[in-house]
Structure 1
């Protein structure tokens, strides 16, 4: 997790007077629940929804295996606040997300990546 993201979480913990819990998961494109071929070796991979507990954050790593990951996207459920603190390429074949749920309600987050077959 980026240092700036960790600082933001610490400030919120102090402000709210509570500690946020952390959980990490790892996906790979072979376990995607939906794959959309886009042509010329490109594809969109969507993953199953993951629950983010109240007052917690979740780090997710997606491994591309035989694909180079180009872009990552996400969507939170519900209308309450929810933040994606990190959304970046950690390597050619790895994408990294940090989802933060500062509310008292469990939320789900769904991820998708765009990838191209490695040459």
Structure 2
């Protein structure tokens, strides 16, 4: 088992959750059970799957959960774009979140590659 708090990608993804939750408060109430809920679930899935993978017994299982986390990151990327295009996110907020998402995607890819090299 690995302590997830030692991974910078977990720290950044946790911060992304906090930023996203704050911005979701400004979304229209009629989106509460649609886009807002979907974005909330997807963004929380990123650090959650890192945590779950770190609790597994093997590196292979960790990689599996990191891939799930990466998939959620791609989902968040699209949902943020949609939110901006619908006028729910200001351009500046979108660009800041997008920068975070891209960083997380890159970090996950590097981490997955590194772990896969150690397990053969």
Place the TM-score, normalised by the shorter chain, in its bin.
under 0.3
Higher fraction of helix: 2
